[in-house]
Amino acid sequence: MSTTTQVQSTLTAADRCDRCGAQAYVRVALPTGGTLLFCGHHFRDNETPLRDSGAVIFDETSKLDRKPEPEPDDE
């Protein structure tokens, strides 16, 4: 029997770090099941053990370096 873990492809501003509540930029699917969300700081603190455990990591920390796009006018 095999289990496939599906990781959502895009994080939004509503996704919050499970550690501190800041905006999440990393989603981690654990090999035992379950998903964790991390801000960049808390992901870096836990990256090595997560990778060593075989977790599937979806990292959007590159968004931290980008300027936000302007909101479209609703007129």
Tokens 């977790």 belong to which residue? 55
Q: In what order do the strands lie in the sheet with 35-38?
A: 35-38, 26-29, 56-59
Q: Token pair for residue 67?
A: 């300027």
Q: Which residue has the higher pLDDT, 70 or 59?
A: 59
Q: What is the pLDDT of residues 11-59, one digit of tens each?
A: 999 999 999 999 999 999 999 999 999 999 999 999 999 999 999 999 9
What are the C-alpha distances in Å from 70 to residues 35, 38, 50, 67, 73? Answer: 31, 25, 35, 9, 9
pTM across the whole model: 0.74
Whole-number Å distance between alpha carbons of 10 and 20: 20
